[in-house]
Each structure stands twice: as structure tokens, then as C-alpha cells.
Amino acid sequence: MLTGKTILVTGGTGSLGKVLVKRLLTGELGLPRKIFIFSRDEAKQHEMRMSYMNKHAATDEIIFRNFQRMLDFRIGDVRDFHSIAESLRGVDVVFNAAALKQVPTCEYFPYQAVLTNIGGPENIVRAIQELGLPVQTVVGVSTDKACKPVNVMGMTKSLQERIFIQANMRCPDTRFICVRYGNVLASRGSVIPLFHDQIRNGGPVTITTPDMTRFLLSLDQAVDTIFAAYKEANRGETYIPRVPSARVVDIATALIGDRPIQSVITGIRPGEKLHEILISEEECHRSVSRGSYYAILPMLPELSDGKEYTAALHNEFSSADNVMAPAGVVDMLRHYRLMLDDNLQEDGELLR
């Protein structure tokens, strides 16, 4: 499906972007002709380039002939129309993983989140529309916080979804689809690296509230969702993985294990929810089952195919429902231990 195609991954040096690129290179959806890794962080690009060249240290000459390689690193910012427009030329498929995603950061710098999470997607759509670019598919990466949002990050991601979905009308020759999922285990800025760092330093482990729950999935499950949407989703659909949820306090307890480390309750941070939602009650009636996923059909009647569907849900899909028992949390963390250790660059002491 991706054989011979040129792919652009915005935010390609982030936690998700790196795993997405790695999976693309396996050829499981066919081997692409070219992968553009687009981001604004030259240090992360340098580090990622060296890792693929099996170098531990190098000077600037490793950028020479960059454009002749399959992995083509592009410095740019989705906020800048001209840089994203230039990188979209000749591209067949776009995976938009560029985002400001840390909830407190977005609360204190809301307009910066607007520029990246809303302005960036609009720039992608505008470039395809105004320049007549023959992009086949754009996949927007969203979050459970976009569903009934109460924080800036979720609000901006919710608007990203709406921009991409409506873009099917602005750019009728391009398929725009989205994916929406919960907390990614060990991704940059997530709770597990924080807990792990606190444990290594002897504690205490900070827990916002004992009742807080979150959906959990691995980086590979996040990429699985992106690939499933790319393979199956119709124009304007949003794919949701059927993933478990857990109490955050159970995650902390599993990571602490039998270590003599205390935990303290600190209270909910600015913009946090007690429970997250992946599908709201307003979206239930237009959500259908697709194997291991739900697909939310587009709200706009112009994007409807006119068929009758059986709703897959009668209530919202909340992290407060079907919460894993503490033993299940331990099993999940042990199952993903190698991935977690690799992401945290640790020595295998995450779970004893």
C-alpha cells in the first residue's frame, strides 16, 4: 500500500514519529520510495540521523547528500506555511504527528498551542488546496483530550480534527482521516518516565488523585492505529483503538513494587480531567465497529456515503469504564517492559 510512495512525517523526531518511521522502514505496508522527516529540532534530527547511520558521534558532514537518501531530514515548522508547502511537493502520504502536547505547557502558553496544533494542520490543507498538490492521504494524529475538551491541548487538537475532516471538501482529491487515542506508554512527557525518575531518586512518587484513570497503549499500538486507519478509513473518519484503562495510582504502585518509596497526593494539575473519553455520547450514534477499532463517521452530511449503519456504542467510551485490576496493570507493564526500557534508556530495572 505504501510501496514506492513518498511519505512526509511531521514531528518525525518525536516519540511517536520515531517509532512510526521505524515501522515504515520495515516495509510492513510496502517499502516507501522516500520518507521526509520534518521537524524544527536540529539536535533531534542530528541524533536520529546518526542512529540510522550507526554512528555514535559525528560532525556536520553527515548531512551531506542528505537529499539523496531514503530518509530525508527536513528542518521546518508546520507553523510556517512556506516550509511545510515546500516539503509537501511530490509527497503522496502525510502523517501529521507535529504537536504541542503537554497539558500544563499548553495551559500557560495557549496561543503557542494554537499556532502548532491548529495553524499547522491549516497550513497543510492550505498548501494542498492552493498549490494543487496531488497528495493522496493525510492522517491527523489526535488525542483523547480532544473529546469533550477542558484544556487548551484538547481544544486545539479537537479543532485539528475538524480542520482535517472538513478538508475533504476543500481538497476533494485528497483523503483526510484522523486517529484519536489515549496515553502512550513511556512517550516523552508522559507519566511513566516521571514516575521512573522519581523512583530512581528515592521518591516520593507524586500522584494527582487516587481516582484518576487513563487509557493506556504502547507506541506500537499507536502506530497500529495509524496504519489501520490508513488501510481502512473512509474520507472524514476518525479511528479509535479499543484499549484498556487503568488508575494512575495502580501504575505508580506497579512501578514502585517492593521498594521503600512513598507516594504523595498533589491534586489535579491545571487542565487535567479525572477521566478521559475517547468517544463522547454525541459521537456514539455515528461510531461503528471495525475489528479492533471504532470508526467515528464524519458529522458533515456532505461527507456521508448515505448508507445505514448500526451504532457500535450506546454510551461514551470513558477511561472510567472497564478499568484494569492492579494485577492487570503489572502484567501490561511487564509485557511492554523491553519497549519501556528502550524508550527510557534504562538498564532493565523498571519492574523487578
Read out DSSP for 33-81? SEEEEEES-HHHHHHHHHHHTT-SS--GGGGTTGGGSSEEEEE--TT-H
DSSP label of 269:
P
Which H or E element spans position 8?
A: strand 6-10
145 catalytic? Reply is yes
Q: Cα 301 from chain centroid?
A: 27
Tell me the three cell numbers of residue 9. Answer: 512525517
Upper half-sphere CA count for residue 70 (Cβ side, 13 Å): 14
pTM of the model: 0.90
Query: Per residue in 223-280, pLDDT tens?
Result: 999 999 999 999 999 999 999 999 999 999 999 999 999 999 999 887 789 999 999 9
Closest CA relative to residue 195, chosen from 145, 243, 244, 254: 254
**pLDDT of 335 above 90:** no
| DSSP classification of residue 268 | P
User: For position 283, what pLDDT does the model report?
Assistant: 97
Residue 346 pLDDT exceeds 50: no
Of the candidate ranges 139-143, 161-165, 190-194, 294-298, the one whose mean pLDDT is the lowest: 190-194
Distance of alpha carbon 282 from alpha carbon 263, whole angstroms: 38
DSSP letters for 136-198: -EEEEEEEGGGSS--SHHHHHHHHHHHHHHHHHHH-TTSEEEEEEE-EETT-TTSHHHHHHHH
What is the distance of C-alpha 124 from the center of its chain? 17
Residues 6 or more apart whose Cβ sits within 8 Å of residue 131 = 85, 88, 89
* The pLDDT of residue 349 is above 50: no
C-alpha pair distances (Å), 187 with each of 14, 192, 222, 310, 339: 9, 8, 11, 35, 11
For the chain, give the percent of residues with pLDDT over 70: 90
Residue 176 bridge partners (DSSP): 138
Cα angle for residues 27, 31, 36 (degrees, 5° grid): 110
Given the residues 5, 18, 101, 145, select the one marked as catalytic.
145
Mean pLDDT of 14-28: 95
Residue 72 has pLDDT above 90, yes or no: yes
| Mean pLDDT calculated for residue range 56-72 | 59
Residue-wise DSSP of 277-334: EEE-HHHHTTEEEETTEEEEPPSSGGG--------S-SS-EETTSSBPPHHHHHHHHH
At 166, is the pLDDT very low, low, confident or very high (cuts 50, 70, 90)?
A: very high
Terminus-to-terminus CA distance in the chain, angstroms?
42
Domains of the chain: 6-182+218-242+277-317 (3.40.50.720)
- Residue range 276-302: mean pLDDT, rounded: 96
Q: Write the single-letter amino acid at 15.
A: S
Q: b/e string for 220-238 if b means 16 or more Cβ within 10 A?
A: bbbbbbbbbbbeebebbbb
Please spell the DSSP secondary structure of 199-234, one letter per residue: HHTT-PEEES-TT-EEEEE-HHHHHHHHHHHHHHPP
